[in-house]
Amino acid sequence: MNSNKFLIILSTLLLTSCATDIDFHIPLNRFDSPEVNGGFLKGDVGVKYGRSHKVTTAEVVEYIFPSLFDPTLSDETAIEASGHLSSNFSLGIIKRVDFVFKSYGDGPDVFGLKYQFLGEVASEGKEGWKGAIQLTKGSMDEDEGRLNVNLASGGTRNYNGRIELETYDISLNFGYRFNKYLITYLNSVYSYYDSKSTLTSNTFPTLEIDGIVRTYGGLLGLRFGQVSQHVTFYLESGVMHSRWEKNIKETSVPIGFGLDFSW
Query: What contacts 9, CB < 8 A, 6 or more positions away?
Result: none
CA distance 21 to 205: 17
- pLDDT grade for 156, boundaries at 50, 70 and 90: low
Identify the pLDDT of residue 61: 64
- Of 161, 171, 181, 262, residue with least CA distance to 219: 171
- Of 258, 260, 252, residue with least CA distance to 26: 252
CA distance 30 to 20: 29
Name residue 74's amino acid: S
Q: Of the ranges 35-44, 140-149, 157-166, 223-232, which one carries the lowest mean pLDDT score?
A: 140-149
Is a pLDDT exceeding 70 seen at residue 66? no
- Of 197, 201, 220, 199, residue with least CA distance to 209: 197
- pLDDT grade for 10, boundaries at 50, 70 and 90: very low
CA distance 227 to 42: 11
Give start and end residues of each alpha helix (H) in 121-259: none
Identify the pLDDT of residue 13: 46
What is the model's pTM?
A: 0.84
Is a pLDDT exceeding 90 seen at residue 172? yes
What's the mean pLDDT in 42-47? 96
Q: Of the ranges 68-72, 164-168, 195-199, which one carries the lowest mean pLDDT score?
A: 68-72
Identify the pLDDT of residue 228: 83
Is a pLDDT exceeding 70 seen at residue 132? yes
